Amino acid sequence: MKLEIYIVNAFTEEIACGNPAGVVLLQEDLPQDLMQKIAFDINKSETAFIKRTGHSEFFIRWFAPLTEVPLCGHATLGASKVIFHNHPDLSEIKFVYKDGTITVHQDPNGNITMLFPLDEYKVIDIAPEFYEFFNLREITACIQGVNTKKVILVLDEEVDLKSIKPDYRRMKESKGKSDHGIGVTKSSKQYDFESRYFNPWYDVDEDPVTGSVHTVLANYWGRQLGKKSMTAYQNSQRPGELILSIKDGNKVEIKGKARIFIEGHIKT
C-alpha cells in the first residue's frame, strides 16, 4: 500500500521554525495499530491521519509516537494546509473527530483559522515536583484544563522562559496530575502572553508550538487581561506565533500560517 505523506511546519512560514507535523492522506480506513506504527516512524510530536468523507468534510485522527491523542491543534493546521494546497477551490473545510467537528477557514493571504472548543480550567495546588521539573523558585499560579487535563504553571513576567531547562527524566518518572502534559506561561511585553509546553509522558519532551494548550491559555489569559483577542508566542527552539479570538464564550479561533516542507509516499 502506498500512502501520501507530508511534513508541515505549523504556525510559521519558515524552515526550522514552528511545529512540524506529519500528515497522512487515507483512501480507506487503516487499523489503529498500523497508524500508530506509522506515527512512530514519522516521529513528529503528532501525525494527523485524514480521510475525505465529503466535498469539504474530512475525518481526522491524531497520533503521537507512542499513543493516540484526543486533539491536536498544530497537526490540524498542518492537515488544513495540505488540503487547501491540494484543493485550491476550497476556502472552508470541516474536520470530524470522535468528540465533535472543527471548522477551518483560509483567507486569501494564506492565514488558516481553526475553531476549537474553549477549554475550561480549574485552579489546582502546586505540587512540589513542579518546582523540581523546571528548577523554579516561584510559581504564581497553577491551573489545569478540564477537558485537555493539561497542567499550566503561571510564572512572573520577568522570568526568561527560553532559559528554563526541564529535567525530563524526573518528569517522565513522575506519575500524577501532570502526566497529560505540562506548560509554563507568563504575560509578555511584545505579545499578550508567552508559553512553552512539555510532554515527555507521550514521548514528546518539548512540543514546539501547541494549538491544544492554547484552548486553555486563551481562556485563562482572556480573563486575566480582559481580552477576547490576543497574540501568543510559544518560545521554544522552534518558535511560533498564534492569533487567538474567543467566540461565543465557549470557542476559540486559533489562527496561523503553515509551510509544507516535505511531500512523498509511505510504503506499508
Catalytic residues, by residue number, are: 46
Q: What are the grid coordinates assigned to 217, written together?
A: 491559555
Distances (CA, A) of 161 to 51, 116, 183, 239: 38, 26, 11, 12
What does DSSP say about strands 19-26 and 47-52: parallel, antiparallel, or unpaired? parallel
Distance CA 218, CA 119 (A): 9
Distance CA 242, CA 254 (A): 7
With contact defined as beta carbons under 8 Å apart, do 104 and 258 qualify?
A: no
Please report the sign of the dihedral spanned by the C-alpha atoms of residue 258, residue 63, residue 194, residue 244: positive
If one counts every other C-beta atom within 10 angstroms of the C-beta of residue 204, the result is: 20
Distances (CA, A) of 114 to 33, 79, 221: 28, 11, 19
Cα 167 from chain centre:
22
* Bridge partner list, 115: 103, 253
Distances (CA, A) of 73 to 30, 78, 190, 254: 22, 9, 23, 8
Name residues whose C-beta falls within 8 Å of residue 52's C-beta, 6 or more positions apart in sequence. 58
